[in-house]
C-alpha cells in the first residue's frame, strides 16, 4: 500500500544574517491512510519546519528545500504548480494550529471565516453552493466538534469564545473541506489539562468516524501515547527513532528517546519518587485569606467590577516542607503566592510568616531575608538590559551588603547554581532558558532566605532541562534547609517533588494533605477530574488513575462546548 | 455601538474642556499685559486701563475663567482686534476653506499612502520597496514651506494649469451657501466649471500639506502589514486554501489598517499646524492663514479662537476615526463597552 | 511559533550586537544617513574655518555682487545684499543644531522622566500626566509655537522655549507606552521583592529598556526640530536677521522667486538635506535596534 503522505530524504536549510544553516537533515516520514502518526520533538527540533513544508506555508526565502521530496496521494507536492498545490490546501491536507486565539482573524466573525474557507474551497474544485447550503454545512461541521449552539458561534467574534471552544472551532475549520489528512500542531497544549483531554478525545473520535489520517506534532509524550499508532522522534532536525507506539514506549532504543522518557515525571506506579520528610514547626500560616479584585476602566479609572480570586483559604506550611499548590488557570494559585509574598494585600484574613503578621513586616529588610520568589519565565523575570552580575547584586544592595562584599557573593552564587564565573558579565539573551532560571534561583537565594516561593519554575522549560532544575532545587533545599512553596499546574511533577500539597479550584482549596494521600485517595471530584485528565506515558499509570463519573465531572468542570452568557 | 460612541464623545468633550482651560491659562500667564500687547507700546496708561476694564482683566482669575467659558458655550469668542469683528464671525467665514483643504488632504493621504504601503509590504526588500521607501522619506523630510515654494516655482514654469493662490478664480461668480465647500456646492448647483477650477486651486496646497502624512502613513502601513503577516491566523488562512489576494486584503489589511488610521488621528493636530504654513504661502483664505495674521498682530482673542477651533477639529476627526476603527475591529468596540 | 523563531539564532554563533551590526550594514540608506548627519555636524562646528566667506554670516553687504547666480566663486549664489549663500547655510547649521540641542536637551529628559513616572506609579500620577498629554496632543503644534513666540517676542531662545514646551509630550507618550508594556514583565516585581527603591527601578531597571527607543526617537526628532525652527523663522517668528538662519533665508529668498530661485531653494535644500540625514539615520537605528515607535 502506498502511504497517503510520504516524506523522503527531506533537507531544508535557512539563510539568515548572511549565514546558512541546515534545519532538517534527511527526514523520512510517512503516514498511511487512516493512520495516526506523531512527531515528537522539543522546541527547536525542526518539527514546526517539517509541518510547514507539508502544508506549504514555509517562508521561502529564507527557507530553502535542498533535497528530497514530499508525496501526497502519489503526487509530488514540491513539483506541483501553484494552482494544483493550492487545490490540496484545506481539501487534501488541512491543519489545526496550536494557539486557538492567535489562529483566528480577530476582526472577522467565526461565520465569516468559516464561510470563506468553504467558498474558496468550492471555487477551486469548480463547485458552487448557495449561501444557505454553506450555512447548513457550517452548522453540521460545528455539530461534529460538539458545538450545538452553532448559530451563535457563527455570529461571534473569536475573543467572545473560551479557549476550549476556539480550539473546537479550529478543528471544525480544518474539517470544512473534507480533508483526508489532518496535521495538528500541539492541539490543546495552550489549554488547561482537563480541556486538553476533551480536545484529544474529540480528535481521536473524529479520526475514526471521518476516516481521517492524522499527523500530530507535539512535545508532550503523554499526548503521543493517547493519540498515535506510530511515532517519530526528532532531535535537531534528525529523525532519531521511529516505531509503533508500543515499541517506542515499551522499549525505546535511541539514547535521546530514553532520556526524554526518563525526564517525564511519573504520575503513578513504582517509579514515582515520594519525597518523605516531615516539616517541623509552622513557618507560613494562612488564616481565611480572601482576595477580591476590582476591574477598572474608563478615562478616569473608575471601578467597574469585582471578582473573587482567592476565597477563604487556610493553610499551614511547615519548615522544611516542599508544599505544592496546584490548580488550573484562573484557580487563584498565583494570586495566593503573591499574597504570601506580601505583594497583594488580602481583602480579608491574615498571612503569618514565622508567626508574624505581614502588616508592617512585608517589604522590610528582615522580611526579604525570610522569603523570596522565583518566577515562571526567566525571560521575563530577568531584565533583558542588565548583566547577570548587576541583577544578582540588587537584592544584596538593598539588604545592606557593602559593595566590597557583593562581588565575592556573586561569585559564590554562580558557583552554587553550577554556572561558570564568566556569565557574570553576560546579558540574559546570551543564556539558555535553563541557565536563565538558574540565575533567577541564584538571585532569590542571594540574601539567604528561609522560604522560596516557586511560581511554576519549570513550566517554560523543555522537559529535559526541567529535570536538571528540579535536581538543583532538591540539592539547594538540603544544603540550606529551605522551605519551598511550589505553585504549579503540572501534577506529575508535583507528585515527585513535593511532600505536601493543596489543590485549588475557583479560588478555594478543595483538598490538602500528604502528597501520596492526595494522589492515592483523592476525595474531591475536582482532584479526581484533574488527575484522570493527565496524559501519562505508561499503561500502569493509566490503570492507577482515579475514576470519575460523568456527573461529577460536569459539576466541577466548565464545559468547553457551550457559550457563556455574558 | 451607541454606547461606545457616547463614551468616546464624552472623553473627547473632556479633552476639549481641558484644552479650553489650558489655553486660557497659557494666555493669562504669559508675561506681558494682554491689553498693552494689543494696544502697542504707544498707547497711554489710561487707554490700557480702559481696555483692561473692557476685557475684564481686572476681575479675579476664576471670574475671568467663568466668563470666558460661559461665553464659549454661547459661541462668543470675543472681538478680534485685527478685524474689529467678533472672532466667531471671522472664523465662521474662513472655516469652509480650511475644511475643504484638510478633507481633501486626508482623502489624498489615505488614497495614496495605504495602497502604496501595502505594495511596499508585499514586495518587501525588493526594488519596489526601496523605491517606495525613498518616496516616503522625501515626503516626510520635505518641510511644508519648502515644498510649497518648490511647487509654486514649478507651477510658474511648467504646471501653468494650476493656480498658486486663492480658492477660486475671481472671474467665476459663485457663492457656496449650502455647505461652504466649493466642490460640494459646485456639484449641488451643477456648476462643473466651479468644481474644476476649485479642484485646480486645491491641487498644489493639498499636495504640499499631504506630503508629510503620506510618507508617514505609508511607512506605518508597511510595518503593520509585515507584522500582521507573521501572525498565526494568516498562516492558517493560507493553509486552509484562501487565495493570496483575499488573505492580503480581507485578512491582513483590515487588521493592519488600524495602525495608520490611529496615526492619522494622533497626527491630525500636526496636519492643522502645517496648514498654517501652507495656507499662508498659497494665500488660502482659511482659518490657518487668519491665525497667522492674528498671531503676527498679537490679536489674542482671535488666536485663542483659532486654536480652540483647531482643537474641535482634532476632536471631531478622532471621533470619526474611532468610529472607523470600531467598524474595522470589533475588539475596539467590545472592550470599550465591556468597560462599563 | 514561526519557522524563523524555531531556529535558534544563537546557534548561528552570532551575538546580538553582531546581528544588529549586520542589519545596519545591510542598510545602505542608514549609512548614508549617518554620513549626512556627520557632515552637518562638521559643517556647524567648523563653519568659521571652512566657510568661503565667513563675514557673510553677519550684516555684511556687498551690493556689487548681489543676486549673482551659483558660480565657482559662490557655489550657491549670493543673496539680495551680496552675501555668499553657502557661507550663510554653513553658519545656519550652527543655529539649527543649537536649536536641536537646546530643545531636545530639555524636552527629552523631562518627557522621559514624566513618562517613566506615569507608567510606573500609575494611579493619579498617571491620570494627571497622561490626560495632560492627551490635551496637548489636540493642539496644533506649529500654531502653538507661533503663538507662544509671538507673545514672548521672537528670537532664538523664545523659539527654543516654545518648541520645548510642545515637544516633551511625545517622549512622555513613547516612554509611557514602553513602561506600560514592561510593567507586565516579572523583573519589575522581582526588583521590588528584592527591596529595590523606586529610584532604582525607574532609572536602573526601566530606563535601560527605553534607551533604544529614545535613541531612535531623538534621531528622528532632530530633523523635525530643525524643520520646526525653520518654519518659525520662515514666518518671521524665529531667529531674527542678520543671524544666518535657514528658515529666514528661505523667507527672504522667496521674495525673489522665480528668477533668483537659488536664494530660496538653496537654503531650502540645505534644510531638507539635514532632515533627510537625521531621518535616514533614525530609520536605520530603528531597524538595527529593532524598536517600534
What digits encode the pLDDT tens for the residues B43-54? 777 877 877 777
Q: Which residue of A has its CA nearest to C122?
A: A301
Rounded Cα–Cα distance for residues B272 and B312 (Å): 11
What is the crossing angle of helices B192-229 and B127-141, to 10°? 120
Does the distance separating the beta carbons of C147 and B272 come in below 8 Å? no
Strand A348-353 relative to strand A282-297: parallel, antiparallel, unpaired?
antiparallel
**pLDDT in the model for residue C144:** 83
Rounded Cα–Cα distance for residues A149 and C193 (Å): 47
Q: Which of C88, C98, C97, C95 is nearest to C266 (CA)?
A: C88
Question: C113 CA to chain A: closest CA distance, Å?
Answer: 18
**pLDDT in the model for residue C102:** 93
Question: B186 CA to chain C: closest CA distance, Å?
Answer: 30
Contacts of B31 in chain C (CB under 8 A): 152
Residue B27 scores a pLDDT above 50:
yes
Note if the bond before A61 is cis, omega within 30 degrees: yes
A179-232 pLDDT tens trace: 889 999 888 777 888 888 888 988 999 888 888 999 999 988 889 998 899 999
Question: B22 CA to chain A: closest CA distance, Å?
Answer: 18
Residue B38 scores a pLDDT above 70:
no
**pLDDT in the model for residue A383:** 93
**pLDDT in the model for residue B30:** 65
Rounded Cα–Cα distance for residues A206 and C158 (Å): 75
More confident residue, A60 or A385: A385
**pLDDT in the model for residue A266:** 87
Overall pTM > 0.80: yes
Strand A322-326 relative to strand A500-505: parallel, antiparallel, unpaired?
parallel
Using CB atoms and an 8 Å cut-off, which of residues 205-244 of chain B contact chain A? Answer: 231-233, 235-243
Residue B288 scores a pLDDT above 80:
yes
Rounded Cα–Cα distance for residues B193 and B35 (Å): 47
Rounded Cα–Cα distance for residues B235 and B253 (Å): 15
Does the distance separating the beta carbons of C4 and A14 come in below 8 Å? yes
**pLDDT in the model for residue C278:** 92
Rounded Cα–Cα distance for residues A427 and A390 (Å): 10
**pLDDT in the model for residue A302:** 64
Does the distance separating the beta carbons of A173 and B240 come in below 8 Å? yes
What is the crossing angle of helices B144-157 and B192-229, to 10°? 130
Contacts of C213 in chain A (CB under 8 A): none
C227-277 pLDDT tens trace: 888 888 888 887 777 778 888 888 888 787 777 778 888 888 899 899 999
Contacts of A57 in chain B (CB under 8 A): 235, 238-239
**CB-CB: which of B7, B251, B339 is closest to A105?**
B251
**pLDDT in the model for residue B334:** 65
Optimal mutation site among B124, B233, B234, B339, interface A, most CBs of chain A within 10 A = B233
**pLDDT in the model for residue B160:** 65
Residue C4 scores a pLDDT above 60:
no
C-alpha cell at A16: 539568515
pLDDT, averaged across chain A: 87
Residue A256 scores a pLDDT above 80:
yes
Optimal mutation site among A184, A299, A300, A307, interface B, most CBs of chain B within 10 A = A299
**pLDDT in the model for residue B185:** 81
Does the distance separating the beta carbons of B19 and C139 come in below 8 Å? yes
Rounded Cα–Cα distance for residues A273 and B306 (Å): 78
| DSSP bridge pairs for A293 | A307
Q: What is the mean pLDDT of residues B319-339?
A: 73
Residue whose cell numbers read 507506539: A245
CA distances A209 to A88, A150, A216, A229, A452, Å, are 22, 20, 17, 16, 50
DSSP code at position A94: E
Query: How many interchain CB pairs under 8 A, A with B?
Result: 95
Contacts of B296 in chain C (CB under 8 A): 150, 235-237
Note if the bond before C258 is cis, omega within 30 degrees: yes
Q: What is the mean pLDDT of residues A409-419?
A: 92
Confidence of residue B340 (pLDDT cuts 50, 70, 90): very low
CA distances C2 to A44, A104, A219, B226, C8, Å, are 11, 16, 16, 14, 11
**CB-CB: which of C136, C138, C265 is closest to B315?**
C138
DSSP states of C116-139: HHHHHH-HHHHHHHHHHHHHHHTS
Rounded Cα–Cα distance for residues B145 and B280 (Å): 9
DSSP code at position A325: E
Contact A440, A471 (CB under 8 A): no
Whether B33 and chain A come into contact, CB under 8 Å, resolves to: no
A548-558 pLDDT tens trace: 888 877 777 76
B77-86 pLDDT tens trace: 777 777 778 8
Contacts of A104 in chain B (CB under 8 A): 233, 236
Q: What is the mean pLDDT of residues B163-185?
A: 75
Whether C157 and chain A come into contact, CB under 8 Å, resolves to: no
Residue C10 scores a pLDDT above 60:
no
DSSP states of A169-230: HHHHHHHTT--SEEEEESTTTTS-HHHHHHHHHHHHHHHHHHT-EEEEEES-HHHHHHH-SE
Residue A318 scores a pLDDT above 70:
yes
**pLDDT in the model for residue A3:** 86
Question: C139 CA to chain A: closest CA distance, Å?
Answer: 19
Give me the percent of chain A exceeding a pLDDT of 70: 96
**pLDDT in the model for residue A566:** 39
If DSSP codes are grouped into helix, strand and coil, which group holds residue A16? strand
Amino acid at each position: 500500500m502506498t502511504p497517503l503522505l510520504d516524506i523522503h530524504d527531506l533537507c531544508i536549510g535557512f539563510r539568515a544574517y548572511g549565514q546558512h544553516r541546515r534545519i532538517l537533515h534527511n527526514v523520512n516520514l510517512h503516514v498511511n491512510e487512516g493512520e495516526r502518526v506523531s512527531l515528537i520533538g522539543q522546541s527547536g527540533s525542526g518539527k514546526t519546519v517539517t509541518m510547514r513544508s507539508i502544508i506549504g506555508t514555509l517562508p521561502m526565502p529564507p527557507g530553502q528545500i535542498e533535497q528530497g521530496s514530499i508525496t501526497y496521494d502519489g503526487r509530488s507536492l514540491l513539483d506541483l504548480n501553484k494552482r494544483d498545490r493550492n487545490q490540496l490546501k484545506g481539501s487534501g491536507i488541512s491543519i489545526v494550529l496550536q494557539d486557538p486565539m492567535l489562529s483566528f482573524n480577530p476582526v472577522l466573525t467565526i461565520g465569516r471565516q468559516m464561510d470563506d474557507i468553504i467558498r474558496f474551497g468550492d471555487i477551486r474544485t469548480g463547485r458552487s453552493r448557495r449561501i444557505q447550503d454553506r450555512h447548513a454545512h457550517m452548522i453540521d461541521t460545528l455539530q461534529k466538534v460538539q458545538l450545538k449552539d452553532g448559530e451563535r458561534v457563527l455570529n461571534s467574534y473569536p475573543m467572545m469564545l473560551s479557549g476550549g471552544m476556539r480550539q473546537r472551532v479550529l478543528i471544525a475549520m480544518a474539517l470544512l473541506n473534507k480533508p483526508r489528512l489532518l496535521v495538528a500542531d500541539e492541539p490543546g497544549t495552550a489549554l488547561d489539562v482537563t480541556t486538553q483531554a476533551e480536545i484529544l478525545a474529540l480528535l481521536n473520535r473524529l479520526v475514526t468516524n471521518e476516516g481521517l489520517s492524522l499527523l500530530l506534532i507535539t512535545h508532550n509524550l503523554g499526548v503521543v501515547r493517547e493519540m498515535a499508532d506510530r511515532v517519530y522522534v526528532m532531535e535537531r532536525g534528525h529523525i532519531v527513532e521511529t516505531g509503533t507506539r508500543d515499541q517506542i514506549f515499551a522499549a525505546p532504543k535511541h539514547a535521546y528517546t530514553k532520556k526524554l522518557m526518563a525526564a517525564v515525571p511519573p504520575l503513578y506506579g513504582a517509579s514515582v519518587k515520594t519525597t518523605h520528610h516531615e516539616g517541623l514547626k509552622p513557618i507560613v500560616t494562612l488564616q481565611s485569606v480572601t482576595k477580591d479584585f476590582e476591574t477598572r476602566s474608563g478615562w478616569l479609572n473608575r471601578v467597574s467590577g469585582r471578582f473573587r480570586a482567592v476565597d477563604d483559604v487556610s493553610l499551614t506550611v511547615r519548615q522544611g516542607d516542599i508544599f505544592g499548590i496546584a490548580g488550573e488557570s484562573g484557580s487563584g494559585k498565583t494570586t495566593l503566592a503573591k499574597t504570601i509574598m506580601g505583594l497583594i494585600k488580602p481583602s480579608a484574613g491574615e498571612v503569618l510568616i514565622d508567626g508574624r503578621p505581614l502588616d508592617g513586616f512585608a517589604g522590610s529588610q528582615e522580611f526579604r531575608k525570610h522569603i523570596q520568589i522565583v518566577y515562571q519565565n526567566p525571560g521575563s523575570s530577568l531584565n533583558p538590559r542588565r548583566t547577570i552580575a548587576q541583577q544578582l547584586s540588587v537584592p544584596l544592595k538593598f539588604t545592606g551588603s557593602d559593595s566590597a562584599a557583593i562581588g565575592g557573593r556573586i561569585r559564590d552564587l554562580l558557583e552554587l547554581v553550577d554556572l561558570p564565573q564568566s556569565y557574570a558579565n553576560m546579558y540574559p539573551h546570551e543564556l539558555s532558558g535553563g541557565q536563565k532560571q538558574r540565575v533567577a534561583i541564584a538571585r532569590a537565594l542571594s540574601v539567604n532566605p528561609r522560604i522560596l516561593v516557586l511560581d511554576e519554575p519549570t513550566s517554560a522549560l523543555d522537559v529535559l532541562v526541567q529535570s536538571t532544575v528540579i535536581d538543583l532545587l532538591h540539592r539547594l533545599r538540603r544544603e540550606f534547609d529551605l522551605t519551598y512553596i511550589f505553585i504549579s499546574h503540572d501534577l506529575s511533577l508535583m507528585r515527585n517533588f513535593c511532600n505536601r500539597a493543596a489543590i485549588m479550584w475557583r479560588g478555594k482549596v478543595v483538598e490538602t494533605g500528604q502528597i501520596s494521600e492526595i494522589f492515592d485517595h483523592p476525595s474531591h471530584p475536582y482532584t479526581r477530574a484533574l488527575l484522570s485528565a493527565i496524559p501519562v506515558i505508561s499503561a500502569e499509570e493509566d490503570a492507577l488513575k482515579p475514576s470519575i463519573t460523568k456527573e461529577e465531572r460536569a459539576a466541577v468542570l466548565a464545559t468547553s462546548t457551550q457559550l457563556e452568557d455574558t | 455601538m451607541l454606547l461606545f460612541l457616547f463614551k468616546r464623545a464624552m472623553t473627547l468633550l473632556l479633552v476639549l474642556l481641558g484644552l479650553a482651560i489650558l489655553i486660557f491659562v497659557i494666555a493669562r500667564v504669559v508675561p506681558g499685559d494682554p491689553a498693552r500687547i494689543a494696544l502697542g507700546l504707544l498707547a497711554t496708561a489710561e487707554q490700557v486701563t480702559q481696555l483692561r476694564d473692557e476685557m475684564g482683566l481686572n476681575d479675579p482669575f476664576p471670574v475671568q475663567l467663568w466668563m470666558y467659558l460661559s461665553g464659549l458655550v454661547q459661541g462668543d469668542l470675543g472681538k478680534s482686534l485685527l478685524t474689529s469683528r467678533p472672532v466667531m464671525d471671522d472664523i465662521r467665514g474662513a472655516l469652509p476653506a480650511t475644511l475643504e483643504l484638510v478633507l481633501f488632504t486626508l482623502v489624498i493621504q489615505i488614497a495614496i499612502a495605504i495602497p502604496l504601503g501595502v505594495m511596499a509590504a508585499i514586495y518587501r526588500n525588493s526594488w519596489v520597496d526601496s523605491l517606495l521607501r525613498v518616496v516616503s522619506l522625501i515626503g516626510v523630510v520635505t518641510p511644508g514651506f519648502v515644498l510649497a515654494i518648490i511647487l509654486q516655482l514649478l507651477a510658474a514654469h511648467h504646471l501653468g494649469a494650476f493656480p498658486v493662490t486663492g480658492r477660486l478664480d475671481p472671474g467665476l461668480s459663485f457663492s457656496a451657501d449650502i455647505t461652504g465647500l466649493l466642490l460640494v456646492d459646485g456639484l449641488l448647483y451643477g456648476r462643473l466649471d466651479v468644481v474644476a477650477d476649485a479642484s485646480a486651486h486645491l491641487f498644489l496646497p493639498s499636495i504640499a500639506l499631504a506630503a508629510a502624512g503620506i510618507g508617514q502613513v505609508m511607512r506605518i502601513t508597511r510595518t503593520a502589514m509585515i507584522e500582521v503577516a507573521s501572525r498565526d491566523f494568516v498562516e492558517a488562512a493560507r493553509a486552509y486554501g484562501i487565495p493570496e489576494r483575499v488573505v492580503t486584503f480581507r485578512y491582513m489589511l483590515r487588521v493592519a489598517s488600524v495602525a495608520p488610521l490611529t496615526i492619522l488621528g494622533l497626527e491630525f493636530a500636526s496636519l492643522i499646524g502645517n496648514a498654517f504654513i501652507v495656507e499662508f504661502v498659497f494665500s488660502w483664505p482659511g482659518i490657518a492663514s487668519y491665525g497667522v495674521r492674528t498671531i503676527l498682530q498679537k490679536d489674542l482673542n482671535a488666536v485663542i479662537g483659532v486654536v480652540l477651533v483647531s482643537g474641535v477639529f482634532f476632536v471631531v476627526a478622532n471621533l470619526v476615526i474611532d468610529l472607523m476603527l470600531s467598524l474595522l475591529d470589533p475588539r475596539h468596540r467590545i472592550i470599550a463597552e465591556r468597560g462599563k | 511559533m514561526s519557522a524563523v523563531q524555531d531556529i535558534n539564532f544563537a546557534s548561528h554563533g552570532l551575538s546580538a550586537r553582531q546581528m544588529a551590526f549586520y542589519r545596519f550594514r545591510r542598510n545602505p540608506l542608514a549609512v548614508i544617513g549617518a554620513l549626512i548627519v556627520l557632515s552637518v555636524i562638521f559643517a556647524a562646528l567648523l563653519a568659521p574655518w571652512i566657510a568661503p566667506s565667513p563675514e557673510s554670516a553677519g550684516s555684511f553687504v556687498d551690493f556689487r555682487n548681489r543676486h549673482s547666480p551659483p558660480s565657482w566663486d559662490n557655489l550657491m549664489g549670493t543673496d539680495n545684499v551680496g552675501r555668499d549663500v553657502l557661507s550663510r547655510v554653513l553658519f545656519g547649521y550652527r543655529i539649527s543644531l543649537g536649536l536641536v540641542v537646546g530643545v531636545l536637551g530639555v524636552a527629552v529628559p523631562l518627557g522621559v522622566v514624566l513618562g517613566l513616572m506615569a507608567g510606573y506609579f500609575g494611579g493619579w500620577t498617571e491620570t494627571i500626566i497622561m490626560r495632560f498629554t492627551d490635551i496637548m496632543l489636540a493642539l496644533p503644534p506649529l500654531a502653538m509655537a507661533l503663538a507662544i513666540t509671538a507673545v514672548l517676542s521672537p528670537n532664538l531662545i523664545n523659539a527654543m522655549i516654545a518648541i520645548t514646551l510642545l515637544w516633551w509630550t511625545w517622549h512622555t507618550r513613547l516612554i509611557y507606552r514602553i513602561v506600560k508594556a514592561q510593567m507586565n514583565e516579572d523583573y519589575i516585581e522581582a526588583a521590588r521583592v528584592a527591596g529595590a527603591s523606586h529610584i532604582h527601578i525607574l532609572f536602573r531597571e526601566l530606563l535601560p529598556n527605553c534607551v533604544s527607543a529614545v535613541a531612535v526617537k531623538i534621531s528622528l526628532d532632530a530633523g523635525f526640530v530643525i524643520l520646526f525652527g525653520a518654519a518659525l523663522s520662515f514666518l518671521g517668528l524665529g531667529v531674527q536677521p542678520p543671524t544666518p538662519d535657514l528658515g529666514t533665508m528661505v523667507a527672504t529668498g522667496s521674495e525673489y522667486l522665480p528668477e533668483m530661485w537659488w536664494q530660496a531653494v538653496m537654503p531650502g535644500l540645505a534644510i531638507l538635506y539635514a532632515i533627510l540625514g537625521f531621518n535616514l539615520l533614525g530609520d536605520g537605528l530603528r531597524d538595527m535596534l529593532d524598536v517600534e515607535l
